[in-house]
Structure 1
Amino acid sequence: MPRVYVRKKQPKYTEESLNKLIDLIKDKKISVKIGSTQFNIPLSTIYDRLAHNRGPRGRQTILSIAEEEFLVKLIKLYQEWQQPVSKPDILELTKTYMKQLGKKTRNQDGNELKLNDWYYGFLARWSTELKT
């Protein structure tokens, strides 16, 4: 069963108020520091948005989007050939692909990577493309 991350601290501001503050700062109607205290938004969040760093929360996945996209195409190709693709098959394909890319397939202890968490995240990210 995959781990489900639950944020322990919920933001005290809304996305709407953050966007409003960003617009005010871009129009030079308010400074970042004053806006931060008035809207109760952390400075780091404001600067992050001003720098257009709107990446997803959480850590980076093992494979990039383009690399995962290649796996999705490969899995679809197997399905077109009417070859059923199960979880162990996908994990084996992924490990082989990672070796070809020169990515680590072993953890620090020297044991083979357990890709269960990646697998469930992969299925969630590509749920519109893949059917299990």
Structure 2
Amino acid sequence: MAHTKSNALTKNYSGKFGNQFVFRIRNGKSIMAALPVRISDSATEAQQAVRRRFANASHYAKQILLDPVMLSAYTEKAVDGKSPYLVAMTDYLRNPWIDEIDIDGYNGNAGEIIRVQAGDDFKVTEVSVKIIATACDIPGNKTEESLTL
């Protein structure tokens, strides 16, 4: 991908140039890129699911851009030419992960502590824990659920 700082020919241009490449403006810079490949075949169910997830990520990112506090936080994470929009989409598309579950303080009684070490590309605001007892463990299949911050 070619980049220019100040070029009278491409400054503020965007769109397709012939059937070879497109001009785009990214972070105030004019970028020349290859034409996107368009496929006319009908999408499979899996492709449709990916497209829906991507559309949801795009919607999430657009909402972030409307919130000044969140926009500021995502702008801080936007490095190496990435936009806050791209960082927000990536955050939506990448699932958080659990590094560790510590059940040493849990003996099966409500209110006992289960420590969870979780992470995310952006930040973790809450963790939900749900314990479901199997039929062989506890009669009546007791369920306990908790939301922690």
Question: What range describes the TM-score normalised by the shorter chain of this pair?
Answer: under 0.3
Which protein is bigger by CA-based radius of gyration?
2
TM-score by length of 2: 0.22
Q: Larger helix proportion, structure 1 or 2? A: 1
TM-score by length of 1: 0.24
Q: Larger strand proportion, structure 1 or 2? A: 2
